[in-house]
């Protein structure tokens, strides 16, 4: 039987610039990759930290992250929210 990986915890804001945001979340043991989606962004990453670039200065963004296992099953999701800096 297949089981989806699970993210146990919340998304943490790490840092921002006027055009980027960096987030981190607890790693999921059986995750093959993580998928971050929202506000026109759809990115995958093989680690539990990601920097989203080419954002609008002074804007608030909200993203959803899932851990995806090798069988394609996705975890519960966590939400990452914060604002970019001003120019």
| 7: in domain | no
The answer on pLDDT for 86 being more than 90 is no
pLDDT digits over 9-52, tens only? 889 999 999 999 999 998 888 889 999 999 999 999 999 999 99
List the domain range (segments joined by +) for residue 69.
12-81
Q: What is the DSSP letter of 15?
A: E
Within a 13 Å sphere around the CA of 1, how many CA atoms are in the beta-carbon half?
1
Number of domains in the chain: 1
- CATH number, domain containing residue 47: 2.60.40.10
Among residues 87, 22, 33, the alpha carbon closest in space to that of 61 is found at: 22
| 6: in domain | no
Query: 87 falls in which pLDDT band (50, 70, 90)?
Result: low
pLDDT on residue 2: 65
């Amino acid at each position: 039987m297949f089981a989806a990986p699970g993210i146990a915890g919340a998304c943490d804001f790490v840092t921002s610039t006027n055009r980027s945001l960096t987030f981190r979340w607890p790693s999921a043991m059986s995750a093959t990759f993580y998928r971050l989606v929202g506000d026109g962004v759809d990115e995958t990453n093989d680690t539990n930290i990601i920097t989203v670039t080419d954002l609008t200065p002074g804007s608030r963004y909200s993203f959803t992250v899932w851990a995806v296992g090798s069988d394609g099953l996705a975890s519960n999701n966590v939400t990452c929210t914060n604002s970019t800096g001003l120019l």
